[in-house]
Structure 1
Amino acid sequence: MAGYILLPLLGLIVLVIIFSGVFTVKQQSAAILERFGRFLSIKNSGLHFKIPIIDRIAGRINLKVQQLDVLVETKTKDNVFVKLKISVQFQVVKSNVYDAFYKLESPHDQITAYVFDVVRAEVPKMKLDDVFERKDDIAVAVNRELNQAMQDYGYDIIKTLVTDIDPDVQVKAAMNRINAAEREKVAAEFVAEADRIKIVAKARAEAESKRLQGQGIADQRREIARGLEESVDVLNNVGINSQEASALIVVTQHYDTLQAIGEQTNSNLILLPNSPQAGSEMLNNMVASFTASNQIGEAMKEKNKENLKKSTDTDTIYRETEDDEEDNRS
């Protein structure tokens, strides 16, 4: 009875032992196989076998490209504290899996320590603006230092990137104000240049307008002078000398001007002489005009009286004649 129970149990143990000797390794990874605690072999991707109980898998190594982000806080040359985010892309060399597994206990800590060391050695040599402009130089320095240090441990540093530069909040605000001020300055310069161009263009247009206007006035006066010359020649031909012709033309132009002004509607223009004696002469002329007007008025009144008297006498004679005729008829 006991034999029937032990046989299945023994078969089960055998199966477990057999299956424990079979293992698989994933793609882009490697397994380190040890026997009694001593390195035996490195198994790559696929199905593998090991001796149960005697052999064991000590660990597995990832052969993919990995990335480690390291945040470093340091000070620049102009005493500004800044945080830099360094992204390190690394990979275990397939031929150096043994060194990567046995020589280095914590690769992430090792890489972080080297990044801190290089960044804190390079950034204090630069000013804050230079840190932004020369971030590639920092990345190259970190990459070079890590490659030299990590190759002995079986790691290949593929790329090192400075992915973020974050100064202190107050410094960042000050930089934004400086940037805004610079942009306002540039905008003001462009606006001033545009205004200058407008002013120059306007001045040129006014100068051209004045030039054309002066040319028009000169042409007008030239034609007027030519017309006056022709008028004087015409008057000379009819026996009027040049002096009399000039006086006649001036008087004619004077009255033509007065007529042109008078023809304008809604005009409140009054022409007054502008000589020093103009005021007294105008007053004397007004007094003389009023005196002459009064005299003419008195003369007209006397004439009207005489006409009225003559008319009255004529009516009286006419009535007397009619009365005599009526008496004769009687």
Structure 2
Amino acid sequence: MESIVAALALLIVGYTVGSVRIINQGTEALVERLGKFHRKLTAGLNFVVPFLDTIVLEESTRERVLDIDKQKAITGDNVSADVDAVVYWRILQLERTFYAVENIEEALESLVTTTLRSEIGRMSLAQTFSSRNEINQALLHQLDEATATWGVKVTRVEVQSIEPAPDVLRAMELERAAESKKKAAISEAQGKKQAAIEEAEGAVQSMKMIADALKSQPNSREIMKYLVAQRYVDASYRLGDSPNSKIVFMDPKALTEALSELIDPNAPPPSQHPLNPPKE
């Protein structure tokens, strides 16, 4: 009798121990009874029926990271590029994830790759560089809709890099260099134009000031002679000081006559000047 009681006690203890399941925080488990889904075990102390219930899956429900390797994609302007991304996702309904899809990570990777290629194909190469946030948001929206029946939630998608082929990169560098040279040439031309305009305006303003000043002077003719002579001396000095200066031979008589004519347009021609009688 005592042996029967001991056997029953041992059986009860074994049954009790076998029915206890402890699930860690951030983890859930699926229980099947006689091959059919029965219930889901959450974090903490849980009990199952030995021999009838079987724990078929114990999985984390924390957020995970899925790194997508570089994939070939064709942009809207037919440029080949290597694109990679990283996806953050988590399981919301473990029973759907287990029974709706065979391998959730493989399914997610295939879906992200297809969606990423499709989104890149809608843009030109230049747009892909400047619209990274738009691509991320479009991928997140499409993936969230596609994975709703799998019991998972895609929380964030980040396109890490978009790398065109080396020959395309070289062509882009040459194009950028040419564009920079063009902008520099335009800026230099505009600067020279503005400088010339300002110099001309300054010369006009200077001439106007000189003319106004000479109007009020009785000896304006002598002042004009002095200014012309001063300009001539300055020009001669700059010509001689220049590293590539040239020697210019000028007849002093002709120079004097030219200056006289410039100062006094009403003066008689050199051939009729009293100091220059005509040659016979």
TM-score interval, normalised by the smaller of the two chains = 0.5 to 0.7
Distance 2:197 2:220 in 1: 34
Matched, 1:193 2:161: no
How many Å apart are 1:182 and its aligned residue? 2.1
Task: Identify unmatched segments of 5+ residues in structure 1.
Answer: 225-268, 281-330
Q: 1:147 aligns with which of 144, 148, 152?
A: 144
Q: C-alpha distance in 2, partners of 1:173/1:68?
A: 32
Query: CA RMSD, aligned part only?
Result: 3.8
Answer yes or no: is the 8 Å Cα contact 1:61–1:101 preserved in 2: no
- Richer in helix (by share): 1
Question: Structure 2 stretches of 5 or more lacking a match?
Answer: 222-251, 257-272
2:66 to 65, 68, 71: 68
Is the 2:119–2:139 contact (alpha carbons within 8 Å) kept by the matching residues of 1? no
**Residues 127-276 of structure 1 correspond to what in structure 2 (within 5 A)?**
127-221=124-218, 275-276=275-276
DSSP 3-state at the match of 2:217: helix
Structure 1 residue 30: deviation in Å? 0.9
Equivalent in the alignment of 1:59:
57
- Residue identity in the other structure for 1:216: A
Alignment-derived partner of residue 31 in structure 1: 29
Supply the distance in 1 between the matched residues of 2:51 and 2:45 (Cα, whole angstroms): 18
Cα deviation 1:69-91 (Å, max 9, x = unaligned): 32331222332111222333322
Map of 1:45 onto structure 2: 43
TM-score by length of 2: 0.64
- Could you tell me the percent identity over the aligned residues? 22
The structure with higher relative contact order (CA 8 Å, sep 6+) is: 2
- Aligned pairs for 1:296-307 within 5 A: none
**Is structure 2 residue 86 aligned with structure 1 residue 92?**
no
Equivalent residues of 2:32, 2:38 under 8 A apart: yes
Distance 1:89 1:223 in 2: 89
| TM superposition shift of 1:60 | 1.8
What do residues 159-189 of structure 1 show as CA deviations (whole Å, max 9, x unaligned)?
A: 3333321111221222122223223322333
Rounded Cα–Cα distance in structure 2 between residues aligned with 1:46 and 1:163: 39
**Displacement, 1:223?**
7.8
Q: How far 1:18 sits from its partner (Å)?
A: 5.8
Q: Which amino acid is the alignment partner of residue 275 of structure 2?
A: S
Q: Cα gap change, 1:17/1:276 in structure 2, threshold over 3 Å: closer, same or farther? A: same
Partners of 2:179 and 2:13 in 1: how far apart? 79
String of CA shifts for 1:127-162, please: whole Å, max 9, x gaps: 322333444554444334433332112122333333
The answer to whether the 8 A contact 1:72-1:119 is kept is no
Residues paired across the two proteins, number = 226
Residue 73 of structure 1 aligns to a residue whose secondary structure is: strand
Partner Cα separation in structure 2 for residue 130 and residue 122 of structure 1: 11
- In the alignment, what sits opposite 1:78? 77
Q: Is the 8 A contact 1:23 1:48 kept in 2?
A: yes
TM-score, normalised relative to structure 1: 0.56
Alpha-carbon distance between aligned partners in 1 of 2:43 and 2:116, rounded to the nearest angstrom: 38
Shift of 1:35: 4.1
Judged with a 3 Å threshold, the aligned counterparts in structure 2 of structure 1 residues 152 and 223 are, in CA distance, closer, same or farther, namely closer
